[in-house]
């Protein structure tokens, strides 16, 4: 059985659905590996403009697979094959959206953090409960989350292990929007369609520049932004975009 279901709601948009419902979509090595492979294929597909990650009805992912974690040692945790999958997911160059319903906990939240936009349905619960097991996040929960929501909310989530709801996630900057329960995927599709209508090279450079802002000092990020901006000058997308604007028509990117 495939652990990641690949769906094509439109020619330009790909949906990857986590498919371990019997384990509440717990992220094991095989699932993360399938997800990394699917994203690698999507990255090379010129027709794919955006990807949406989602889970089942009322569930995104309840965390990592404890049956695998229980056997980890200090040494094996540093050579875990899941590390390569996580790196591949985080380095996906195209827009990656997360449609979150229900539980989004531990590794599930870290998977959402690897996405560029998170849309949450009412009733969603987002949290980092690892401390309740004598553990801590190991795939971005303490390294990336503070950059997104600030120190206080990151500490609150990681130190208490208590989740927050959809409205709190939006207020804290973790999620872009909250929608009615069951509506996260629909809203992600709307946003993905808006993204897909734009110049794909420009979109990829925008994503790259914003990620640079999280990884570089401001002065360096400004230099890189200008370099990316300069690289778009003289390109076919710019010419088409301006011609379409002046001609009062939709651009054909």
Distance CA 161, CA 148 (A): 18
DSSP 246: H
Do the beta carbons of residue 93 and residue 51 sit within 8 Å?
A: no
Mean pLDDT of 24-33: 96
Q: Read off the pLDDT of residues 142-173 as tens digits, 9 standing for 90 and up.
A: 999 999 999 999 999 999 999 999 999 999 99
Instruction: Give alpha helix (H) positions in the chain.
Output: 29-44, 66-69, 82-90, 107-113, 145-149, 151-160, 166-171, 184-196, 200-215, 218-232, 236-246
* Domain 4-196 matches domain 200-246 at the CATH topology level: no
Coil/strand/helix, residue 69:
helix
Fold of 4-196: 2-enoyl-CoA Hydratase; Chain A, domain 1 (3.90.226)
71 pLDDT more than 90 = no
Q: Read off the pLDDT of residues 73-108 as tens digits, 9 standing for 90 and up.
A: 999 999 999 999 999 999 999 999 999 999 999 999
Domain ranges of the chain: 4-196, 200-246
The catalytic residue positions are: 64, 107, 110, 130
User: How many Cα neighbours within 13 Å face the side chain of 12?
Assistant: 17
User: How many Cα neighbours within 13 Å face the side chain of 149?
Assistant: 26
Predicted structure pTM score: 0.95
DSSP 64: B
Architecture of domain 200-246: Orthogonal Bundle (1.10)
């Amino acid at each position: 059985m495939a652990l990641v279901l690949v769906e094509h709601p439109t020619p330009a948009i790909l949906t990857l659905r986590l498919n371990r419902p019997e384990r509440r979509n717990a992220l094991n090595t095989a699932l993360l590996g399938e997800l990394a492979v699917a994203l690698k294929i999507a990255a090379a597909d010129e027709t794919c403009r955006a990807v949406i990650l989602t889970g089942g009805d009322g569930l995104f992912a309840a965390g990592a697979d404890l049956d695998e974690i229980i056997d980890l040692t200090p040494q094996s945790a540093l050579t875990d094959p899941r590390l390569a999958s996580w790196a591949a997911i985080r380095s996906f160059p195209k827009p990656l959206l997360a449609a979150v319903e229900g539980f989004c906990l531990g590794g599930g939240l870290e998977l959402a953090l690897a996405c560029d936009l998170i849309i949450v349905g009412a009733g969603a619960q987002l949290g980092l409960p690892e401390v309740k097991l004598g553990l801590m996040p190991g795939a971005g929960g303490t390294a990336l989350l503070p950059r997104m929501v600030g120190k206080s909310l990151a500490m609150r989530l990681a130190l208490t292990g208590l989740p927050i709801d959809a409205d709190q996630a939006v207020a804290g900057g973790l999620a872009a929007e909250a929608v009615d329960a069951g509506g996260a995927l629909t809203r992600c599709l709307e946003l993905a369609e808006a993204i897909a209508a734009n110049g794909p090279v420009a979109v990829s450079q925008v994503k790259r520049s914003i990620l640079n802002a999280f990884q570089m000092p401001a002065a360096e990020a400004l230099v890189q932004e200008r370099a990316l901006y300069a690289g778009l000058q003289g390109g076919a997308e710019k010419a088409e975009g301006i011609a379409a604007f002046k001609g009062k028509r939709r651009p054909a990117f």
